[in-house]
Chains A and B, each alone.
Chain A
Amino acid sequence: MPNKPAILAEGLQKHYGKTRALAGLDLFAEEGTVLGLLGPNGAGKTTAVRILTTLLRPDAGRAEVAGLDVVKHADTLRSRIGLAGQYAAVDENLTGYENLEMFGRLYHLSGAMARRRANQLLERFDLVDASRRTVKTYSGGMRRRLDLAASLIISPPVLFLDEPTTGLDPRGRLAMWEVISSLVADGTTVLLTTQYLEEADQLADQIAVVDQGRVIANGTADELKTQVGGERLELTVARGGDMDAAVQAVRPFSSGEIQINWDRRGLVVPVTHGAQLLSAVVRELDTAQIPLDDLALRRPTLDDVFLTLTGRAATTGELPEETPADRPLVRSSR
Chain B
Amino acid sequence: MNISNLRATSSLKPLTRPSLYWTFADALVLAKRHLIQIPRIPEELIFATIQPIMFVLLFRYVFGGAIAVSGTSYVNYLMAGIFAQTVIFGATSTGIGLATDLQRGLVDRFRSLPMAKSAVLTGRTISDLVRNTFVVFVMWMVGLLVGFRPDGNVLSWVAAVGLLLLTSFAFSWISATIGLLVNSVEAAQSAGFIWLFPLTFASSAFVPTESMPSWLQTFANHQPVTLIVNAVRGLLLNQPNASTILQAIAWCVGILVVFIPLAVWAYGRRTAR
Q: Which residues of A contact B (CB under 8 A)?
A: 16, 50, 53-57, 75, 78-79, 81, 83, 85, 87-94, 98, 102-103, 105-110, 113, 117, 120, 123-126, 134, 150, 152-155, 175, 178-179, 182-183, 185-188, 322
A54 to chain B, nearest CB (A): 7
* Chain B residue contacts of A55, Cβ below 8 A: 108, 111-112, 271
Are A106 and B113 touching (Cβ within 8 A)? Answer: yes
Are A93 and B108 touching (Cβ within 8 A)? Answer: no
For chain B, what secondary structure do more than half of its interface residues adopt (helix, strand, loop), or is it mixed?
Answer: loop
* Chain B residue contacts of A94, Cβ below 8 A: 33, 36-37
Are A89 and B104 touching (Cβ within 8 A)? Answer: yes
15 A-B pairs within 8 Å (CB atoms) are namely A16-B273, A55-B108, A57-B272, A88-B105, A89-B105, A89-B108, A93-B41, A106-B30, A106-B115, A109-B14, A120-B9, A126-B1, A179-B3, A185-B4, A186-B5
B 1-41 binary contact with A (CB < 8 Å = 1; else 0): 11111111100111101000010011001101100110011
Beta-carbon nearest neighbor of A179 in chain B = B3
A64 to chain B, nearest CB (A): 17
Beta-carbon nearest neighbor of B26 in chain A = A106
Are A108 and B115 touching (Cβ within 8 A)? Answer: yes
A153 to chain B, nearest CB (A): 7
The verdict on A117 contacting B12 (CB below 8 Å), with A108-B22, A179-B3 known, is yes
Are A124 and B273 touching (Cβ within 8 A)? Answer: no
* Chain A residue contacts of B8, Cβ below 8 A: 186
Task: Let me know if B138 is at the binding interface, CB within 8 A.
Answer: no
Are B272 and A56 touching (Cβ within 8 A)? Answer: yes
Contact of B6 among A56, A79, A98, A152 (CB under 8 A): A152
Q: Which residues of B contact A (CB under 8 A)?
A: 1-9, 12-15, 17, 22, 25-26, 29-30, 32-33, 36-37, 40-41, 104-106, 108-115, 119, 271-273
Are B112 and A54 touching (Cβ within 8 A)? Answer: yes
A329 to chain B, nearest CB (A): 20
**From A57, A117, A322, residue with most partner B Cβ within 10 Å:** A322
* Chain A to chain B: the 9 pairs with minimum beta-carbon distance, closest first: A89-B105, A93-B37, A108-B14, A79-B114, A78-B114, A89-B109, A106-B115, A83-B112, A124-B3
B37 to chain A, nearest CB (A): 4
A90 to chain B, nearest CB (A): 8
Contact of A183 among B6, B109, B112, B115 (CB under 8 A): B6
Given the complex of chains A and B, what is the CA–CA distance between A186 and B8 in angstroms? 9
B1 to chain A, nearest CB (A): 5
Beta-carbon nearest neighbor of B6 in chain A = A186
Are A175 and B26 touching (Cβ within 8 A)? Answer: no
The verdict on A183 contacting B3 (CB below 8 Å), with A107-B113, A154-B14 known, is yes
Given the complex of chains A and B, what is the CA–CA distance between A241 and B155 in angstroms? 101
Are B33 and A85 touching (Cβ within 8 A)? Answer: no
The verdict on A155 contacting B3 (CB below 8 Å), with A78-B114, A83-B109, A109-B15 known, is no
* Chain A residue contacts of B30, Cβ below 8 A: 102, 106
Are A186 and B4 touching (Cβ within 8 A)? Answer: yes
* Chain B residue contacts of A153, Cβ below 8 A: 12
* Chain B residue contacts of A155, Cβ below 8 A: 6-7, 9, 12
Given the complex of chains A and B, what is the CA–CA distance between A94 and B101 in angstroms? 13
Given the complex of chains A and B, what is the CA–CA distance between A179 and B6 in angstroms? 11
* Chain B residue contacts of A87, Cβ below 8 A: 104-105
The verdict on A322 contacting B15 (CB below 8 Å), with A55-B108, A155-B9 known, is no
Beta-carbon nearest neighbor of B17 in chain A = A108
Are A105 and B29 touching (Cβ within 8 A)? Answer: yes
Contact of A188 among B7, B32, B37, B115 (CB under 8 A): B7
Given the complex of chains A and B, what is the CA–CA distance between A79 and B32 in angstroms? 22
Given the complex of chains A and B, what is the CA–CA distance between A74 and B78 in angstroms? 53
* Chain A residue contacts of B7, Cβ below 8 A: 155, 186-188
* Chain B residue contacts of A120, Cβ below 8 A: 9
Given the complex of chains A and B, what is the CA–CA distance between A292 and B122 in angstroms? 70
A319 to chain B, nearest CB (A): 13
Given the complex of chains A and B, what is the CA–CA distance between A199 and B173 in angstroms? 45
Are B6 and A124 touching (Cβ within 8 A)? Answer: yes
Given the complex of chains A and B, what is the CA–CA distance between A178 and B5 in angstroms? 15
Are B14 and A79 touching (Cβ within 8 A)? Answer: yes
Are B12 and A113 touching (Cβ within 8 A)? Answer: yes
